[in-house]
């Protein structure tokens, strides 16, 4: 079956531009996570959705970062006024479980954002 998909796969933005990154989770998955992975580092948690509710946004680095999942399926991560330090791979993951003890997360291929 289809896995988690993300688009675009690559994005180049000029500093100051706004970008929108899309995640299509596995159909029926309740939980959705966003991560930021800088070069040579492990993924860092950004935010978590359970259906359409954003239950944890403690990892968003600044108020320039905004995520939504209005109908409980597709999610969009928006970065306003991009800065060079935003250059990273943005990963989306989904899980079929909505529980405080998380289960396997299925990861998408990521969107590589380069800010010039």
Partner 1 sequence: AQSVTQLDSHVSVSEGTPVLLRCNYSSSYSPSLFWYVQHPNKGLQLLLKYTSAATLVKGINGFEAEFKKSETSFHLTKPSAHMSDAAEYFCVVSDGGGFKTIFGAGTRLFVKA
Q: Hey, what are 96's tokens?
A: 């079929």
| 33 contributes a contact to partner 1 by CB under 8 A | yes
- Single out the segment in contact with partner 1 by CB under 8 A; choices: 10-18, 21-29, 40-48, 68-76: 40-48
Beta bridge partners of 89: 37, 112
Cβ 16 to partner 1 shortest distance, Å: 30
Options 8, 16, 61, 102; binder of partner 1; rule CB under 8 A: 102
Strand intervals (E) in 14-116: 19-24, 31-37, 44-50, 53-56, 65-68, 75-79, 88-95, 106-107, 111-115
Options 27, 41, 62, 114; binder of partner 1; rule CB under 8 A: 41
Rounded CA-CA distance 92/34 in Å is 5
Using CB under 8 A, list all residues that contact partner 1. 3-4, 31, 33, 35, 40-45, 48, 50, 55-56, 58-59, 91, 93, 100-105, 107-110
């Amino acid at each position: 079956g289809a896995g988690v998909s993300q688009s675009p796969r690559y994005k180049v933005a000029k500093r100051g531009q706004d970008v929108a990154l899309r995640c299509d989770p596995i159909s029926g998955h309740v939980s959705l996570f966003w991560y930021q992975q800088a070069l040579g580092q492990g993924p860092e948690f950004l935010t978590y959705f359970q259906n359409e509710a954003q239950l944890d946004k403690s990892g968003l680095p600044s108020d320039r970062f905004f995520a939504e999942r209005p109908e409980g399926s597709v999610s969009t991560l928006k970065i306003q006024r991009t800065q060079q330090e935003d250059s990273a791979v943005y990963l989306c993951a989904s899980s079929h479980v909505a529980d405080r003890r998380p289960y396997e997360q299925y990861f998408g291929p990521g969107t590589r954002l380069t800010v010039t």
